[in-house]
Amino acid sequence: MSSNLYPSFGILLVDDEASFLRSFSLMLESQAGINHLYQCQDSRDVMQTIAREPIGLVLLDLTMPHLSGEALLRQIVEQHPEIGVIVVSGLNQLETAVHCMRLGAHDYFIKTTEESRLLDGIQRAIRMQEMRLENLEMRRRFLSDTLDRPEIFADIVTQDKGMRSVFQYLEVISASSQPVLISGESGTGKEAIARAIHALSGRSGPMVSVNVAGLDDGIFADTLFGHKRGAFTGADKARAGMIDQASGGTLLLDEIGDLSLASQIKLLRLLQEGEYYPLGSDRPKRIHARVLVATHHNLERKQRDGSFRKDLYYRLCTHQVELPPLRQRQGDLPLLLDYFLAEAAEELGRNKPTVPKELPTLLRHYTFPGNIRELRALCFDALSRHQGGVLSMEVFRRVIGRDTATTDPTAESDAPLFAADRPLPSLQEVADLLVAEAMKRAQGNQSLASRLLGISQPALSKRLKKSQSS
């Protein structure tokens, strides 16, 4: 079975008219990209089909021979309450519609209803069913604390519990067709997470990445949608856009927070309607790729200040992944050091050096504004300067010293350091507290503690001896 079926669960069409089943199926696939379809012309076979196939939604006619739609509705609701049922009937009677809803139908439509209304109702039911399945799966995974496909995350070096929760969440949403918003500081591994989502989805097409930062509206449209020959001056031949190139796969739009407002409108329409127009064409094309977006911006704040459309923000945040910065993953530092030094040694054709035991402790006091990408660069730089034996910490000390020198102690909080209704401590008491905290952070290493305090190691040793003797 194709891995690009939408939705992930089957939709069963039940009607005694073969011609209606054919036209209905064609409409669902061409107008909404819904292709995970099953057909049943004999109402007596419906329950067997449901038992045999992964059905999540039934589109049910009412007036049929042998077994009526109302009788089937009662059976489905009683035996398979997890399956949604939409009645699509030729009966335009309010009493019948209300009766079906009371029996448990999700919605009721008339066959002559305009296509857009019917499709909207079906897509709403699909989204609700997807959310129900995701919630059930998420509960199961978090309670069991398991990963079904840990090999997908083998290239993401971590033992952090927060990252493991992210992996579990990705497994849950992998089958969904909805967009995923991946946010996090620069260098936290957003593209690696996007590759994991693509691998988990099992889609047969490729993953295509586009950095949209700095693209004006015209270039954005041409890059994504492509153009027909003669669409504009210089368009000597037709060109497929990135959406076409990602057909059957995944499209990643990186730095989405920098997209212009005009381009945001185009992206919103693409996500809402599932179709787009190549430049110079008056015939719409359907998108057959899942859309992922990534940003280091806080989109919630940007939509509040008006630089990001609210409707687009709410469309994108159906599934959200927030990656923690490296400073919140301190337990991963030894693993990442070992991994990047081994990678650097292989690339530079050198032996992997011994890591001084003080280095992970030293790095725990660095904010890592560039996160994992910065740590990798530091490891490569340190190894390129390495002469043999134990790895020198000079490269790391220089960066951490520069970070300490430029840190604004008032930047993180406006709260007062001392309570207004309490007496101020003496200078000696403050000094003792600072020394004790530095030794705690340095895990008893006087060399590291002295660097944190900005004093020499002999001076720190003298203070410690004085404190112990008093």
pLDDT, residue 442, reads: 74
- Pick 450 or 379 by higher pLDDT: 379
What is the rounded (10 degree) CA torsion for 307, 310, 312, 316? Answer: 110
Contact 400, 361 (CB under 8 A): no
Mean residue pLDDT across the chain: 88
Tell whether the model's pLDDT for residue 202 goes beyond 60.
yes
- Bridge partner residues of 110 (DSSP): 89
- For 106-137, write each residue's pLDDT tens digit: 999 998 777 888 999 999 999 899 888 888 88
Lowest mean pLDDT among 30-44, 248-262, 382-396, 410-424: 410-424
Radius of gyration for the alpha carbons in the chain, expressed in angstroms and rounded? 30
Contact 450, 374 (CB under 8 A): no
Report DSSP letters for 280-324, one per residue: T--S-EE--SEEEEEESS-HHHHHHTTSS-HHHHHHHTTEEEEPP
Q: Which of 292, 257, 254, 255 is nearest to 271 (CA)?
A: 292
The tokens of 283 are what?
A: 């015939």
- Pinpoint the alpha helices (H) of 211-309: 217-225, 242-245, 261-273, 299-304
Return all residues near 327 (Cβ < 8 A) that are at least 6 apart: 366, 367, 368
- Bridge partner residues of 354 (DSSP): 390
Phi, psi for residue 116 in degrees, rounded to 5: -60, -40
Tell whether the model's pLDDT for residue 409 goes beyond 50.
no
pLDDT, residue 252, reads: 97
Report the sign of the C-alpha dihedral through residues 85, 91, 93, 95, in that order: negative
pLDDT over 90 percentage in the chain: 57
pLDDT, residue 364, reads: 86
- Pinpoint the alpha helices (H) of 91-154: 94-103, 115-144
Whole-angstrom distance, CA of residue 186 vs CA of residue 194 = 14
Furthest CA-CA distance within the chain: 98
- Pick 321 or 140 by higher pLDDT: 321
Q: Which of 188, 156, 182, 158 is nearest to 374 (CA)?
A: 188
Three-class DSSP category at 436:
helix
Residue keyed to tokens 């669902």: 28
pLDDT, residue 299, reads: 93
Q: How confident is the model at residue 1 (pLDDT cuts 50, 70, 90)?
A: very low
- Pick 225 or 408 by higher pLDDT: 225
- For 252-270, write each residue's pLDDT tens digit: 999 999 999 999 999 999 9
Q: Which of 374, 415, 412 is nearest to 395 (CA)?
A: 374
Q: Which of 414, 426, 331, 326 is nearest to 370 (CA)?
A: 326
The tokens of 23 are what?
A: 């036209």
Q: Which of 256, 336, 341, 265 is nearest to 291 (CA)?
A: 256
Q: For 58-94, give one letter per residue: b (16+ CB within 10 A) or e.
A: bbbbbebeebebbebbeebeeebeebbbbbbbebeee
- For 335-367, write each residue's pLDDT tens digit: 999 999 999 999 999 889 998 888 888 888 888
- Pick 24 or 443 by higher pLDDT: 24
pLDDT, residue 60, reads: 95
- For 7-48, write each residue's pLDDT tens digit: 989 999 999 999 999 999 999 998 888 999 999 999 999 999
Whole-angstrom distance, CA of residue 419 vs CA of residue 366 = 28
pLDDT, residue 276, reads: 93
pLDDT, residue 270, reads: 94
pLDDT, residue 408, reads: 47
Q: What is the mean pLDDT of residues 192-216?
A: 93
Q: Which of 403, 370, 375 is nearest to 187 (CA)?
A: 370
Q: What is the mean pLDDT of residues 202-216?
A: 92
pLDDT, residue 131, reads: 86
Q: How confident is the model at residue 398 (pLDDT cuts 50, 70, 90)?
A: confident
Tell whether the model's pLDDT for residue 448 goes beyond 80.
no
The conformation of residue 7, written as its DSSP 8-state character, comes to S
Residue keyed to tokens 């490891």: 379
Lowest mean pLDDT among 143-152, 247-256, 300-309: 143-152
pLDDT, residue 416, reads: 66
Give the number of residues written for the chain: 470
Tell whether the model's pLDDT for residue 81 goes beyond 70.
yes
pLDDT, residue 414, reads: 53
Task: Give the DSSP H or E segment for 290.
Answer: strand 290-295
Q: How confident is the model at residue 94 (pLDDT cuts 50, 70, 90)?
A: confident
pLDDT, residue 308, reads: 95
The conformation of residue 321, written as its DSSP 8-state character, comes to E
Whole-angstrom distance, CA of residue 334 vs CA of residue 338 = 6
Three-class DSSP category at 466:
helix
Side chain identity, residue 215: L
- Pick 175 or 76 by higher pLDDT: 76
How many secondary structure helices (H) and strands (E) does the chain include?
Answer: 19, 14
Whole-angstrom distance, CA of residue 363 vs CA of residue 456 = 19
Lowest mean pLDDT among 65-69, 143-147, 284-288: 143-147
**Reduced DSSP (H G I as helix, E B as strand, rest coil) percent helix, strand, coil of the chain, to 5:** 50, 15, 35
Q: How confident is the model at residue 415 (pLDDT cuts 50, 70, 90)?
A: low
Pairing of strands 239-240, 226-227: antiparallel
Domains in the chain with CATH codes: 10-136 (3.40.50.2300), 157-324 (3.40.50.300), 326-406 (1.10.8.60), 423-470 (1.10.10.60)
